[in-house]
Copies of this chain bind each other. A is one copy, B any other.
Amino acid sequence: MAARRLDGTAWAARIREETRPRVERFTARAGRPPGLAVVLAGAHPASEIYVRNKIATVREHGCQGELFRLSETASLDDALALVSRLNGDDRVDAILVQSPLPPGMGPDAEQRVFDTIDPAKDVDGFHPINVGLLVQKRPALVACTPLGCAELLDREQIPLSGRHAVVIGRSDIVGKPMALLLLHRDATVTICHSRTRDLPEVCRSADVLVAAIGRAGFVTPAFVKPGATVIDVGINRLTDPADVARCFAPDSLRARQFAQKGSVLVGDVHPDVEAVAGAMTPVPGGVGPLTIAMVLRNTVTAAELRVGASA
């Protein structure tokens, strides 16, 4: 039996629509729309696409969305100065600095830049104070990808209280905030990572399994308890026919797409898991659109809180 498909695209559309009246109320009250400033430094093809999607989405829903470009050779000081200027700009409610920053900015550039963002405008929820508030289950701007996953689980009414949720991956951007959001929903939460022993066995005890590791098709049916809910955070582009053959049957739609286009997307979860899981997010069309919807929603939330705070 095939897993129920958790349709991220459809939920994202609904969540985006729910922001419309909030945007209208805010705009009427503040005399301007909620404003998102996106900082893109250097030329990075994937980043260009992400940034374009985020700006287009907020604009389509009545917000201001503006792109601020820095050159590939811009310095860390240039980035910090830009963020400081955006912090001081009252029409900017939300600031998003797209990762990765150019390597020339130095190894701790992202941390320095994220720390500089006004926590009230920190639409990505990466500032340590927002992370700490999340830990303490207090109102905070929360990282968009795990927030989107939690929203999906809530809306799909996947039981979490008392259930075992296993998160594979312990990044600051996905794994750790995801674990906290699941804990706040009363799940028993396990965080796994590259050092975990008997990873498939640990994962097989999960009622809800979240894969956020960035390895194509890594989670095979051996990792999944029959009937479990599987959330696939990974988006990996395959270009090697051997990788494609490992993930997709030769006569499948996706294998034929690959033959035509020369690349195909696959998550961290192997497509065969569909035969074991009870419910599962597709890639694409699962977590990705929810992340973008959360950028919009966090922008509106940040705007409401800022204007509420100054009223």
Contact = CB atoms under 8 A, between A and B. Distances in A.
Contacts of A54: none
Contacts of A164: 197, 202
Interface stretch (A129-137, A145-153, A300-308): A129-137
A195 interface: yes
- Give the oligomeric copy count: 2
Nearest to A127: B132
A189 B188 contact: no
B162 A197 contact: yes
A100 interface: no
Contacts of A136: 111, 128, 131, 172
A78 B148 CA distance: 42
Contacts of A189: 190-191
A135 B197 contact: no
Given A132-B128, A176-B135, A183 B163 contact: no
Given A131-B131, A170-B183, A172-B135, A192 B196 contact: no
Contacts of A183: 170, 176, 191, 193
A138 interface: yes
A161 interface: yes
Interface of A: 111, 127-133, 135-136, 138, 161-164, 170, 172, 176, 179, 183, 186, 188-193, 195-197, 202
14 contacts: A128-B128, A128-B138, A131-B132, A131-B135, A132-B135, A135-B176, A136-B172, A163-B197, A170-B183, A179-B191, A183-B191, A188-B191, A188-B193, A190-B190
